[in-house]
Structure 1
């Protein structure tokens, strides 16, 4: 439980500092949360593989299926996010004078160093927790399916926030809303998982 709350804090507090103090824009937030999906996937594969001594090759097969299915889902989402943050994909036709209109100057460089630092902290917490926490009492298939509700919520939140940012031109406000909603969803999910044991 503590490790999950540390990861939630890392993916909530550090991006807020990025937006409020370091001048991050919405692109950094969307990229960070896509990278979080990668860490979630790696942590889930580790949790499933730790079931091999008890479940045998069924756990190995489930880990392989999850890696392929989740990996494809994440790659497709990553391509969409990459096109969105690069400005190559736009929602609808931009109005004249819109920040998405072609005559507008390009956005500044993406703060990759800061994004990777936050990702490294949050991702390391998730992966270390997957390695050291007690082995799950669930079957490999049950454990695999516990990842999907949170992943779907995260994907919908990221894409929905990106749409609102693009449509209403409120990048800082929308980025802050995305961070806060992401933190709330993660915190509630952590509490529910803890109560279920």
Structure 2
């Protein structure tokens, strides 16, 4: 009910344990309607997907047992990430099947909010509506497309958003309706009194103490500028490596590939901080999706810019290359550390500004970065690892990073 409103305003989450916390002013447990056909279809799809998952799991175990070479390791990583991606919808289908079999909706009114928890005992999806948004509630006949048992009357909420919202419950009476309306009115009154108290406290604060928001904005700008400086410094570490440590094109390409992983992990950390439950679920998908991409992308980078092609135009074997990969990572650790710190500070700046953090915000930056890297890497190859071409590649990548950073940090 009101699903678009809930999603738009981020008013949903996962509720573990009891759906009721404390002593609510109103509580209603409504069983869901049972649809045997839908349960059979969902159950059958879940069984088929589970069989596929088990097959892929066996393949992943077999690949990991022989992951002693670079190619077998890449294959094991790709299959594992693919397994994670497809496990998520399987788990969701299983949960949906359980909800249809044992599901219920618990409606709770307390602390100025109306919570709708849809799920099974112990776990459910929580949707929240502010009590002050409810204009009225009435009894209506059970809707033909209702997810609840279609008998008797239902309670229909009329909100500020619309006069045509979904109803809940079954076999509701006037007594149930009055209890619900009284609980909502009580919570509205509490919220009104609390707002009045806050207004009086704010009105009594001296004018000199008000400009806290200005200092906060200055602090956010300072953090944003600091993250930009760190970003520039982190990108200059590869330049130092090229000029003084003899890092060649292959080292730079491996470094920039590894930075993609850093960006993904830091972004996932931000999503979890902003929305602990939804962010964790989305992070699992993001890591799996990006990990599968990075596994194949590393094979491409390694073949094109590290091992190269032989005279026949085919890629040589890459057995034993795991040792070389470890050597690269050991050599590049100062730059990897600097990039990690830079992206963590940038994350702090983004969170302080209240900017959106999602998987969709990182893909355009990663794509633009790698297009620049591959084009620049191709030019360096043409010039035969010339120092000037390597320096140009570093500055091209720096320019792309600065542009992406400024776009994400709106206050700079």
Give the TM-score of the pair, scaled to structure 2: 0.38
Length, aligned pairs only: 178
RCO higher in structure (CA 8 A, sep ≥6) = 1
Equivalent in the alignment of 2:288: 68
Change (3 A) 1:10 1:83: farther
| C-alpha distance in 2 between matches for 1:89 and 1:155 | 21
Matched, 1:116 2:336: no
More divergent stretch after superposition (1-10 vs 183-192): 1-10
Equivalent in the alignment of 1:59: 279
State the Cα distance separating 1:38 from its structure 2 match.
Answer: 1.1
| C-alpha distance in 2 between matches for 1:181 and 1:115 | 19
- Structure 1 residue matching 2:289: 3-state secondary structure: helix
Change (3 A) 1:117 1:20: same
| C-alpha distance in 1 between matches for 2:272 and 2:371 | 28
| C-alpha distance in 2 between matches for 1:196 and 1:78 | 35
Matched, 1:14 2:234: no
- Structure 2 residue matching 1:134: 3-state secondary structure: helix
Equivalent in the alignment of 1:178: 393
- String of CA shifts for 1:57-79, please: whole Å, max 9, x gaps: 43222212211111111221112
Change (3 A) 1:46 1:112: closer
Whichever structure has more strand as a proportion of its residues is 2
| C-alpha distance in 2 between matches for 1:131 and 1:195 | 14
Give unpaired runs (5+ residues) of structure 2.
Answer: 1-223, 315-323
Equivalent in the alignment of 2:58: none
Change (3 A) 1:16 1:120: same
State the Cα distance separating 1:120 from its structure 2 match.
Answer: 1.1
Query: Which of 23, 32, 35 does residue 258 from structure 2 map onto?
Result: 35
Q: Quick check: 2:268–2:279 contact (8 Å CA) kept in 1? A: no
Q: Quick check: 1:32–1:119 contact (8 Å CA) kept in 2? A: yes
State the Cα distance separating 1:28 from its structure 2 match.
Answer: 1.6
Q: Quick check: 2:268–2:286 contact (8 Å CA) kept in 1? A: yes
Give unpaired runs (5+ residues) of structure 1.
Answer: 95-108
More divergent stretch after superposition (1-10 vs 28-37): 1-10
Change (3 A) 1:89 1:43: farther
Q: Quick check: 2:350–2:408 contact (8 Å CA) kept in 1? A: no
Query: Which of 359, 364, 382 does residue 144 from structure 1 map onto?
Result: 359
